[in-house]
Amino acid sequence: MKKTLRVELLSHTPDAEDVIFAAFRQCYASGFVMDTIVNQRRAGTITPEERDRFLQDVLRTGHESPMEHVSFTFAIEGISRVCSHQLVRHRLASYSQQSQRYCVEEKELDYVLPPSIGRIEEAKEIYEAFMKHAGETYARLRELLQSSGCHRESSNEDARFVLPNAVETKLVATFNARSLLNFFQLRCCARAQWEIRALANRMCQLVKNISPTLFQWAGPKCEKMGICFESSKFSCGRKPLYQRPDENG
């Protein structure tokens, strides 16, 4: 069955911007931050506007480690293994992904259909026929392995070698804010592959709703830098291209 992307923000550090504010201020305060800054924030002596002004100034400097104190957990479904393989390359995050050893039992596979293929009737028919055939092959191999004495899990484990990259997967992923910003810089960019870009854009919108100051420049790298670091061949043209000093006339 064809599946579509669904992303939910499962959990996040409460008062993320206050936590990061306290961490930043401790770097520059001689006293203990709990006795000064945190109490002042709780009492309202430091307003959210003052906190956000401070955060905006300090976040543009590249002093990013205080952002590691807050995290965001996403529940994701309706992505392909093509997408999840790219996602898990982001090492500074934690993942719990549905196991194919335990969960793929059906003859009819759940899969993602690339929109480009969906738009061409003949291509879509070929794709869907292949998914049907892959599902049947997988189910037949499981049957043969089980009747030869293999346990259910080890039958799935070996039969899954024939599963296509298109098969749908579900996972839970947790990023801290610094790692998340790096993920958005790379994966919200027009250069990123369409499926992971759609996922990144959805995640980006969810966290912007929760922590607008923290994620004010979240998105492709050009969003914060104002310039594009791609070559002219690959740039989407939204921002001017970066010119190395030796390239200027």
From the list 7, 192, 200, 204, which residue makes contact with ligand FAD (rule: CB under 6 A)? 192
Q: Does 89 bind ligand FAD (CB under 6 A)?
A: yes
Q: At what angle do helices 48-59 and 16-28 cross, to 10 degrees?
A: 70
| 94: CB partners within 8 A, 6+ apart | 173, 174
Q: Does 92 bind ligand FAD (CB under 6 A)?
A: yes
* Nearer to ligand FAD among residue 92 and residue 103 (C-beta): 92
HEC per residue, 104-133 = CCCCCCCECCCHHHHCCHHHHHHHHHHHHH
Q: Does 182 bind ligand FAD (CB under 6 A)?
A: yes
Phi-psi region of 173 (alpha: psi -120 to 50; beta: other; left: phi over 0): beta
Q: Does 218 bind ligand FAD (CB under 6 A)?
A: no
Question: Is 187 assigned a catalytic role?
Answer: yes
Token pair recorded at residue 166: 């298109």
From the list 20, 70, 79, 186, which residue makes contact with ligand FAD (rule: CB under 6 A)? 186
From the list 90, 124, 202, 208, which residue makes contact with ligand FAD (rule: CB under 6 A)? 90
Minimal distance, residue 131 CB to ligand FAD, in Å: 26
Minimal distance, residue 231 CB to ligand FAD, in Å: 12
Closest CA to 213 of 38, 1, 96, 60: 60
Q: Does 179 bind ligand FAD (CB under 6 A)?
A: yes
The answer to whether the Cα torsion of 54, 50, 28, 93 is positive or negative is negative
Residues 22, 35 contacting (CB under 8 angstroms): no
Q: Does 244 bind ligand FAD (CB under 6 A)?
A: no
| 160: CB partners within 8 A, 6+ apart | 100, 101, 104, 138
From the list 1, 28, 43, 91, which residue makes contact with ligand FAD (rule: CB under 6 A)? 91
* Nearer to ligand FAD among residue 104 and residue 207 (C-beta): 207
* Nearer to ligand FAD among residue 59 and residue 192 (C-beta): 192
* Nearer to ligand FAD among residue 18 and residue 195 (C-beta): 195
Q: Does 191 bind ligand FAD (CB under 6 A)?
A: yes
Piece of the chain touching ligand FAD by CB under 6 A; list 61-69, 83-91, 149-157, 220-228? 83-91
| Distance separating alpha carbons of residues 26 and 20, to the nearest angstrom | 10
Q: Which residue out of 51, 81, 142, 187 is catalytically annotated?
A: 187
Minimal distance, residue 241 CB to ligand FAD, in Å: 17
| Distance separating alpha carbons of residues 194 and 187, to the nearest angstrom | 9
Closest CA to 206 of 146, 42, 214: 214
List residues binding ligand FAD (CB under 6 A).
89-92, 179, 182, 186-187, 191-192
